[in-house]
Amino acid sequence: MKKRIGILTGGGDCPGLNTVIDSFTKSLEKKYQIIGFHKGFEGLYANSYSLLNSKLTNQFKFSGGTFLKTVNQGHFSAKTGDGHKNLIPQHIIDTAKNNYQNLNLEALVVLGGDGSLTAACQLMDNGLNIIGVPKSIDNDVVGTEMTFGFLTAVQIATEALDRLETTARSHERIMILEVMGRNSGWIGLHSGLAGGANIILIPEIKFDYNKILEAINNRYKQGKNNTLIVVSEGAMSIDNTKSYSHIGGKSSENLLGGVGDKIASFLNSKELDARCTRLGHIQRGGSPQATDRMLSIQMGCFAAKLVEQKIYGNLVCYNGGQLSILPLIDAVSKLKLIDPNGDLVTVSKKMGISFGD
């Protein structure tokens, strides 16, 4: 009988999840039986799963989302949006552990971001062999230069800025694009640079509404009658205020977002013409672009290699074109944030881009 390995996708959906699952399955199916849990850790908890093979996974290899389904809440919410750790109740962990043992799993591969990997650490502390693969459009996982899904999100945001810029020029208007990223500004900074934004607002640099107004007025003085602004959903003003939107339905909670509308309202109150577009879940949907496909394939194959070598308790990392590992506990110790004094910010400011500070 073949040895068994489990795999699941936790947290929000992300381009490249199916690609990782496919390359992982193809790499191991001759030696192992691959069990794909449904809806992330909830599938492990409920013992809900499918047996995976390359004939199945190949159908979805470059599709967006995850055919195994996922949830970003449920029994295994190990971190809040602000990064504070929550302990998963022991009886829930015990149930998951019993199912893991009853299925005779040798290891569990977790495709997830900061929250899912934190939950994986708690399972690891209770005896499960875990391998983490960093998934996040936010690119905020410590230890890896890149998470799969990030570059696709940046590409989508950049294309949105290209389109908004034509309207900004045509109407001599201020166009604001609000992007995702939670408490990190990687999508905002990268897409802002690639999309030609004049003002970039990110969580790592607190902004002043009056500084935004000043930057726009300076452009008017130079004969530049349109302005393109990109703002990360977690951007914070100098009074330490973040913006939240109430989400109904099952979650019925307040989530980061709405700062772009607040900035637009402020500028309109100063008799300027500003409009905001919130890109939202469009950044997370759809097929991965080529670079993300390559990264996902490599990470899936590398995770399979770690399984074969029985190297557990680590995160797959990508740095400088090379794949390596980092202890999983180190990867969830904090979020990877932008250095306000780093090269990208410094270069942006030299080019005349304002960060509202």
> Annotated catalytic sites, by residue?
138
- Sorted by sequence, the CB contacts under 8 Å of residue 184 that are 6+ apart come out as 138, 139, 140, 202, 203, 204, 232, 234, 335, 336, 337, 338
E-strand spans in the chain? 3-9, 32-37, 49-52, 105-112, 130-134, 174-179, 199-201, 227-232, 244-247, 253-256, 274-278, 314-319, 322-327
Residue closest to 326 by CA, chosen among 116, 154, 117, 70: 117
Structure tokens at 263: 């900035």
For residues 301, 305, 310, 316, the Cα torsion angle rounded to the nearest 10 degrees is -50
277 within 8 A of 176, measured Cβ to Cβ = yes
Structure tokens at 154: 């940046």
260 within 8 A of 278, measured Cβ to Cβ = yes
> Using DSSP, how many helices (H) and how many strands (E) does the chain show?
12, 13
Structure tokens at 26: 């193809």
Q: How far apart are CA 134 and CA 114, in angstroms?
A: 8
Structure tokens at 39: 């809806």
Q: Note the residue count of the chain.
A: 357
Alpha carbon distances (Å) from 287 to 5, 29, 60, 284: 26, 24, 10, 9
Q: How far apart are CA 148 and CA 138, in angstroms?
A: 10
Structure tokens at 194: 């690639």
Alpha carbon 75 to its chain's center: 21
